[in-house]
Amino acid sequence: MFDSLTTAPVLAFAFGALAVLAVAVPLLLWLVKNLRGLQNENIRLASDAEQGREILAAAPDGLFLWDHGKGEERCSRRLAVLLGLNAGTGARFTDVQAKFDAPDALALERAVNDLHRGGASFDLLLKLGARTIQATGTRASSIEGKPLDDLMWMRD
């Protein structure tokens, strides 16, 4: 009734398709499961990052951060308010430096340069009108010793 020459290719195709499905379906299910796990981990990490940012924003000291990995500078809201920085959180280090008279601005620049070059911490007292601002600088490094961020905290 059926010609064996015409059914053999059809059967071969059917068995091939079943074999592909037998491998592809479990693989697809595994990928979907892993994707869900990665999405959950991403949500957790984003939440942790937001929490960290908000903790820093609530700190009583102002923070200026140099991110080694991204090559970025960041100014906290508290520091922008403390120094009256017109650029707010978009302020650059030069904006911070410009708030101080020449001798203190130069001392701050030298201390920050030493921090950037060799990770040398500093603690300075700077005059800002009638106020005295304490500036403290340090480096945050990974457990392996790789520099992550240079940090400068300021308080009134």
Break the chain into its structural domains and give their ranges: 1-58, 59-155
Per-residue pLDDT, 6: 58
Assigned CATH for 59-155: 3.30.450.20
Give the pLDDT band of residue 74 (cuts 50, 70, 90): very high
pLDDT at 128: 96
**If you average pLDDT over residues 74-96, what whole number do you get?**
96
> What mean pLDDT do residues 76-105 have?
96
Please state the rounded mean pLDDT for residues 29-39: 88
Is the pLDDT at 122 greater than 70? The verdict is yes
pTM of the full structure: 0.71
**Mean pLDDT across the stretch 7-26?**
78
Q: Give the phi and the psi of residue 120 in degrees, each rounded to 5.
A: -75, 120
Give the whole-angstrom CA distance, residue 123 versus residue 116: 15
Residue 147 main-chain phi, psi, to 5 deg: -60, 130
Predicted pLDDT of residue 136: 98
DSSP state of 2: -
Nearest CA to 96 out of 53, 54, 66 is that of 66
Q: What is the DSSP string of 15-72?
A: HHHHHHHHHHHHHHHHHHHHHHHHHHHHHHHHHHHHHHHHHHHHSSSEEEEEETTTTE
pLDDT exceeds cutoff 80 at 15: no
Q: Taking residues 68-86, report their average pLDDT.
A: 94
Is 3's pLDDT higher than 70?
A: no
**Of the candidate ranges 54-58, 88-92, 94-98, 124-128, the one whose mean pLDDT is the lowest:** 54-58
- Comparing 20-24, 55-59, 109-113, 148-152, which segment has the lowest mean pLDDT? 55-59
